Structure 1
Amino acid sequence: MSVDITCRTDRFNLSVPGADFINDCCYGEDFSRWLVEALAEAGVEADLVCMEDFGWANQAAFQGVDYLMCVAGHSEDDPARPDYGTWHVMLERARTWKEKLLGKNKTSPDDPLCGTVVQVLEQAGFEQVAIEP
């Protein structure tokens, strides 16, 4: 189970596909780099990992818990604001096979990293920051 944190902004590229994109929707490298740095300032160990077919995958560790932190965005297709759109920060706790089998240690909106991501996004002035379980 993952938790999806959403926000809206025009600070990052959502309009010009990169020459190295796997798919036309692999936006998020600039957002991921910014988020990793912003989270580091908030005491979270985070690192950029790689492009995925939907966006970018990153790692994060906070208060002894490791997470997969994926980023994806989609534009509102407004010619006046081509980079304005919704960004998703998807968090999933690293769990053992046994925890997955038993349904234990699932990611929840109450995870401390979720609150920290929300705080970082709100402090940066992003719009409509919300946790979508």
Structure 2
Amino acid sequence: MFDHLEIRVLPPGPRSAAQVRFWVNGEDVVGEAVHEGGRGPHPARVLPVGRPSPLRATDEARRLELGEPECGGGCCGFLAVVVQRFGEIVQWSDWEMPRKAPLDPDPYPLPEFHFDASQYDAELARAEADRSCQV
């Protein structure tokens, strides 16, 4: 059974820039991992105009930052994952998790996710085509 990815671009708020959030199996991965005040990456970082998205999965493993705590990640770390394609499967694994505070113990990482490559590619193409919040 495959996991299901949904990419949501959230518009800027009164005190925040536009951001990308990643929902897997109905759960906000960024919200779960980076806690209150955390945010996903700006759309220009992961859904750039005029060049391929770093979210594109290839057979070469690549680490991507998917979120950061309110402090910006410099002290508590970032939410990062390794993205890699294995034939018709896209895998997210080897999570790095931000801490709630700099001296907190390492948080429990998220599980590996395995996406059907065609669903993953279609969702990424849909998100790339939606330029409504690309500011």
TM-score by length of 1: 0.35
The higher relative CO (CA closer than 8 Å, separation ≥ 6) is in 1
Task: Report the structure, 1 or 2, having the larger strand content.
Answer: 1
